[in-house]
Amino acid sequence: MDLRFTPEELAFREEVRIFIRENLPADTRDRMKLGHPPRKEDTVRWQRILNAKGWAAMSWPKEWGGPGWSAIQKMIFLEENLMAPAPELLSFNITMLGPVLIQFGTEEQKKRFLPRAANLDDWWCQGFSEPGAGSDLASLKTAAKRDGDHYVVNGQKIWTSTAHNADWCFVLVRTDPNARKRQEGISFLLIDMKTPGITVRPIISIDGGHHLNEVFFDDVRVPVSMRIYEENKGWDVAKFLLGNERTGIARLGKSRERVNTAVSMAKDVNFGGKPLIEDQIFRQRVAQLQVDMKALEITQYRVVSASDKAKGAGKPDPLSSVLKVKGTELLQATSELAVDVSGPMATPIWAQELAEMNEPDDLMEAGSAGTGSYLMLRAASIYGGTNEIQKNILTKAVLGL
């Protein structure tokens, strides 16, 4: 047992911090500091900078361009990147598709897709959820029928984040509608978003933003060579994907960034004739969040250091459900804090017309962007297995019920 960071780990954190400070493009940083989500070009540009440094494929083995970091190092990197704040690595590419290809892909599939995924030459999205298959994913209906050396895909996906930006989509389809168990008739396909028959329709979320989509597949022809692993074994791949990479699931750096922003805004906000930062109730609320963030930080290190020891051989740690639940509760509580600090400035939707009418107003812009972040983060306890599903997982895995 050694509960402190090693000198190497501390030096690594410093190295990451300095690299981000010196290489994150200023316009990206300025926008994100105000609370705006990164634009597509921000994410692409930053991931390419990281890839050039050898850091983008952070969880992949060295032979596929990974940096060979320990789980603790990955954790440190993710935290520093979020706190900067800098755009996150595209998780579809790095933490979802990459490990799946490495584990299940053919050599040809690996060579074709891995380097492009690392460099964000291909933007991937995830076609899992359907209108009738949310928490109950295995009830999905999108069908793929074999026709020679192609599958013909028909059906609909929903909540497909960034499908409108995406070049490719990894999709769960039903290849055997008569399978004995629902999980047994599913396959995992890679689909080029330019294939005829695909329609992407935006879903505007409550933050007013366009992150989500519906994706319709109408007689979409997908080469059989684009199937990952065996036919009807896609559920194994999906389970691997969902259980594999839980590092960073809590996105603790994002919560810290929200608190830092709230505290710094609170110095400029008037509350009963004094800066809000001097209000005892506000300070107590921040203190409580610091307590909860620290507990989560340690739990997170416990999970990743156990996964380091298991060297990928271990079963998914049930503690990762704790990370998901507590991490998303904190994302919601911290973004809520930032919105409460901005007070009435939380209500305007900052848009071009406001920018043109007014002198640049950082407080209003940050208030508006912070509200967007708060609204969108209501999804955090819904996606990736709702928090209620996580408690079901804990009930089975830990309590054995």
Residues 6+ apart with CB under 8 A from 288: none
C-alpha 193/C-alpha 196 separation (Å) is 8
Q: Is position 231 annotated as part of the catalytic site?
A: no
Give which of 84, 79, 89 is closest to 21, Cα–Cα: 84
Give which of 27, 24, 54, 55 is closest to 39, Cα–Cα: 27
Site string for another protein, 322-341 (x = CB under 8 A): x--xx---------------
- 204 versus 398: smaller Cβ distance to another protein: 398
Please pick, from the candidates 86, 158, 166, 296, the single residue that binds another protein as defined by CB under 8 A.
296
- The minimum distance between CB 297 and another protein, in angstroms, equals 8
- 192 versus 297: smaller Cβ distance to another protein: 297
Q: Are 324 and 250 in contact (CB under 8 A)?
A: yes
- The minimum distance between CB 83 and another protein, in angstroms, equals 17
The answer to the question of residue 292 lying near another protein (CB under 8 A) is yes
Please pick, from the candidates 62, 111, 267, 274, the single residue that binds another protein as defined by CB under 8 A.
267
Site string for another protein, 41-80 (x = CB under 8 A): -------------------------------x--------
Q: Are 113 and 169 in contact (CB under 8 A)?
A: no
The answer to the question of residue 399 lying near another protein (CB under 8 A) is yes
Site string for another protein, 224-263 (x = CB under 8 A): ---------------------------------------x
Q: Which of the ranges 1-9, 157-165, 241-249, 345-353 carries the binding residues for another protein, by CB under 8 A?
A: 1-9
- Kindly determine how many residues on this chain lie close enough to bind another protein according to the rule CB under 8 A: 45
The answer to the question of residue 6 lying near another protein (CB under 8 A) is yes
Burial 12-30 (b: 16+ CB within 10 A, else e): bbeebeebbeeebeeebbe
Please pick, from the candidates 298, 310, 349, 355, the single residue that binds another protein as defined by CB under 8 A.
298
Tally of CA atoms within 13 A in the half-sphere of 117 that contains its CB: 32
Please pick, from the candidates 23, 290, 347, 358, the single residue that binds another protein as defined by CB under 8 A.
290
Q: Which of the ranges 82-90, 190-198, 286-294, 375-383 carries the binding residues for another protein, by CB under 8 A?
A: 286-294
Q: Give the count of beta carbons closer than 10 Å to the beta carbon of residue 289.
A: 20
Q: Which of 79, 80, 130, 245 is catalytic?
A: 245
The answer to the question of residue 392 lying near another protein (CB under 8 A) is yes
Give which of 282, 287, 289 is closest to 255, Cα–Cα: 289
The 3-class secondary structure across 55-108, one letter per residue, is: CCCCCCCHHHCCCCCCHHHHHHHHHHHHHCCCCCCCHHHHHHHHHHHHHHCCHH
- The minimum distance between CB 250 and another protein, in angstroms, equals 12
Q: For 323-380, give the DSSP string.
A: HHHHHHHHHHHHHHHHHHHHGGGGSS---HHHHHHSS--HHHHHHHHHHHHHHHGGGG
C-alpha 189/C-alpha 170 separation (Å) is 6
- 228 versus 341: smaller Cβ distance to another protein: 341
- The minimum distance between CB 8 and another protein, in angstroms, equals 11
C-alpha 350/C-alpha 185 separation (Å) is 47
- The minimum distance between CB 190 and another protein, in angstroms, equals 36
- The minimum distance between CB 294 and another protein, in angstroms, equals 5
Residue 130 Cα to chain centre, angstroms: 19
The answer to the question of residue 349 lying near another protein (CB under 8 A) is no
C-alpha 190/C-alpha 63 separation (Å) is 22
Looking at residue 176, what DSSP letter applies? Answer: -
Q: At residue 379, what is the residue type?
A: A
- 4 versus 194: smaller Cβ distance to another protein: 4
- The minimum distance between CB 40 and another protein, in angstroms, equals 36
List of residues contacting another protein (CB under 8 A): 1-6, 9, 72, 263, 267, 277, 280, 283-284, 286-288, 290-292, 294-299, 301-302, 305-306, 309, 319, 322, 325-326, 388, 390-392, 394-395, 398-401
Tell me which residues are annotated as active site.
245
